[in-house]
């Protein structure tokens, strides 16, 4: 049963600490998205990768957030230093474009990482 795996599922940390969230996309998928969900802003796109290359990270606060794909089986989202306003659920999703297109097919979402920054 192929699925997107995110760790940790829950994280409580103090302001100023570094937080790293990890995502294992479904094997064979070449597109990875990071989203943040809050009550106020809904689902915001933070960054996305195709074939491990970052295509767009304009939704990400650059001063404290960074996203990488060290290899095809791992995507990371790091916050340093964390702030209370970063408290949210962070979703990773993976998929692959339709043949001959940049448009994604179905995106498969992980269960999310719930981050609380005190």
Residue ranges that bind another protein, judged by CB under 8 A:
31, 33, 35, 42-43, 45, 48, 50, 55-56, 89, 91, 93, 97, 101-109, 111-112
Tokens representing residue 81 in the block: 């230093």
Local structure of 9: helix, strand or coil: coil
Q: For another protein, which is the closer residue by CB, 81 or 114?
A: 114
DSSP 18-83: -EEEEEEPPTT--EEEEEEEETTTEEEEEEEEETTEEEE-TTS-TTTEEEEEEETTEEEEEESS--
C-beta of 113: minimal distance to another protein in Å?
11
Q: For another protein, which is the closer residue by CB, 24 or 81?
A: 24
C-beta of 114: minimal distance to another protein in Å?
8
User: 53: which residues sit within 8 A by CB, 6+ positions away?
Assistant: none
C-beta of 7: minimal distance to another protein in Å?
15
C-beta of 35: minimal distance to another protein in Å?
8
Q: For another protein, which is the closer residue by CB, 63 or 106?
A: 106
Q: For another protein, which is the closer residue by CB, 59 or 81?
A: 59
Contact 26, 94 (CB under 8 A): yes
């Amino acid at each position: 049963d192929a699925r997107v795996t995110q760790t940790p599922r829950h994280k409580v940390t103090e302001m100023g600490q570094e937080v790293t969230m990890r995502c294992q996309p479904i094997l064979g998928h070449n597109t990875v998205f990071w989203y943040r969900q809050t009550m106020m802003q809904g689902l915001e796109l933070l960054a996305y990768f195709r074939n491990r290359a970052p295509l767009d990270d304009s939704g990400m606060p650059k001063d404290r957030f960074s996203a990488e794909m060290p290899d095809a089986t791992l995507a990371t989202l790091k916050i340093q230093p964390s702030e209370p306003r970063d408290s949210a659920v962070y979703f990773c999703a993976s998929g692959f474009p339709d043949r001959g297109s940049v448009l994604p097919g179905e995106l498969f979402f992980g269960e999310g990482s719930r981050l609380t920054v005190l």
